[in-house]
Amino acid sequence: MSRAAQVSVTAVEDVSVLGALRSPRRLKTEVLAGLVVALALIPEAISFSIIAGVDPRVGLFASFTMAVTISIVGGRPAMISAATGAIALVVAPLAREYGLDYLIAAVILGGILQVLLSVLGVAKLMRFIPRSVMVGFVNALAILIFSSQIPYLIGVPWLVYPMVAVGLAIMFFLPKLTTVVPAPLIAIVILTAVTLVFALAVPDVGDEGELPSSLPSFLIPNVPFTVDTLSTIAPFALAIALVGLLESLMTAKLVDDITDSHSNKTREGWGQGVANLVTGFTGGMGGCAMIGQTMINVKVSGARTRISTFLAGVFLLILVVGLGDIVALIPMAALVAVMIMVSVGTFDWHSINPKTLRRMPKSETLVMVATVAVTVVTHNLAYGVLVGVITAMVLFARRVAHLTEVVDVAHPDEDTRVYAVKGELFFASSNDLIYQFDYVGDPKNVVIDMSESHIWDASTVATLDAITTKYAAKGKTVEIVGLNAPSTERHERLSGNLGGEH
């Protein structure tokens, strides 16, 4: 077997559920990772419920159903999906103005749209997201994860600060000694034990909101099935679908890079839709992939299979429903330390290294900064990625436009002049093409050689028509030669039919 084939088989085994079940060591890693993620999900889900303006149970149930469902139908093993801040921000105005039932209806419609968009191939658009946007996405997430912990460090008893410091020290130094048990879990257990033994008066999970005491149940939102209802929830549903898909597919790509494996993005997309449908019909607020908890699962705890994701949801339900009284005693300082460690590990420190910045083209750095800035300011990853992609497109178009030139290459006789057009011709580069010919001074016959260029759009064809028309007005003829096959087809199909040749 070749080395490439061996690597491929190893990668498949790494994400195989059966492979993990056959290996006690790997199974232990998956189980403990699921437990740590479940503990980290609790305060996050409660916080996002508050942002959305709904009962904490709505966020907790959403996290349970999202995690369990996506572990079965998703395309990226070991990635965590649950209630998220991005979705909470989207649905908050709807919940505030129309109530919980309309929110749930929007989540259900959003899930349907995610399935449809994924089947139509929206995941393929990921190839158009540049690396600099991905780096900005990661760095912005790290900043948001860190900043979301600041409220837990303001106006709190002084004991919180040394507890956070101890938690960070445990997670930093323990892996150097042993990785048998995830360091975040050890930190949570030790800090909780210290809090209980010494009866420390510090904020705990119970202070964040009431934990549910019953299981989620099937429900249909109590909204009128009318056009007015559809027009009310449709904009929010579309935002849920797009934000959820974007954040999930970006996170999936990040996990692919970390694990050196490939995932099915189309399946992940419609899997998110199915998960939101299940979540909506069980009274949850909807969600998508969670970068912070995914990093805990994959990068910190070393999980690689669907088992960890499934167990994160199951443990979450057990903890908040069956062991709610115990979970409520966990100090927030322990979970804050975990999330700070996650933010530090998520940030791409190499991207801001002075040596890297000196070597990197300024345009690439600008795209990264734009992505980070917009995401941090708006707290919306979709806005940041969209601005980053647009910025990259504009800078790329500007750069490529300057690579086009027209060169006077030959004068076969006194009545003929040959121009060579070099470069890629599209709307940004072809608009100035018309000004690079000497319509008055040129002889009767003009040849435009396009062997070293390519026609990409109708703007270029319209420009060539305008050039031909300007020469014709002077009683001169133009012959365009050297077009490759695609350019010839586009030119023959559009030339004279665009209405811009005069």
Whole-model pTM: value is 0.74
DSSP for 397-452?
A: HHHHHTT-EEEEEEEEETTEEEEEEEEEESHHHHTTGGGSS-TTTS-SEEEEEEEE
Q: What CA–CA distance (Å, rounded) separates 3 from 13? A: 15
Q: What CA–CA distance (Å, rounded) separates 255 from 14? A: 13
Give the pair of three-digit tokens for residue 138: 């990661």
- pLDDT for the residue numbered 14: 67
Q: What CA–CA distance (Å, rounded) separates 45 from 335? A: 13
Burial 270-286 (b: 16+ CB within 10 A, else e): bbbbbbbbbbbbbbbbb
- Are 424 and 400 in contact, with CB atoms under 8 Å apart? yes
Q: What CA–CA distance (Å, rounded) separates 62 from 75? A: 19
pLDDT along the chain (502 residues), means of 10: 46 74 92 91 81 84 95 95 86 90 96 95 82 87 85 93 95 86 87 94 86 83 94 92 88 90 93 96 93 88 94 93 86 88 85 90 93 88 85 85 83 91 86 87 93 91 92 93 93 79 45
**3-state percent breakdown (helix, strand, coil) of the chain, nearest 5:** 70, 10, 25
Q: What CA–CA distance (Å, rounded) separates 81 from 158? A: 34
DSSP for 343-410?
A: HHHHS-GGGG-HHHHHHS-HHHHHHHHHHHHHHHHHT-HHHHHHHHHHHHHHHHHHHHHTT-EEEEEE
Q: Which residue has the tokens 């994860």?
A: 145
Q: What CA–CA distance (Å, rounded) separates 161 from 92? A: 32
Burial 233-251 (b: 16+ CB within 10 A, else e): beebbbbbbbbbbbbbbbb
Give the pair of three-digit tokens for residue 87: 């979705």
Q: What CA–CA distance (Å, rounded) separates 464 from 455? A: 10
Q: Which residue has the tokens 């028309």?
A: 469
Q: What CA–CA distance (Å, rounded) separates 464 from 249? A: 41
- pLDDT for the residue numbered 502: 43
The closest of 380, 361, 362 to 371, measured between CA atoms, is 380
For β-strands 445-455 and 477-481, DSSP reports them as parallel
- pLDDT for the residue numbered 283: 92
DSSP 328: T
Burial 168-180 (b: 16+ CB within 10 A, else e): bebbeebeeeeee
- Helix 100-119 to helix 85-98 angle (10° resolution) is 130
Q: What CA–CA distance (Å, rounded) separates 144 from 138? A: 10
Give the pair of three-digit tokens for residue 98: 């129309």
Q: How many CB atoms lie within 10 A of CB 478?
A: 18
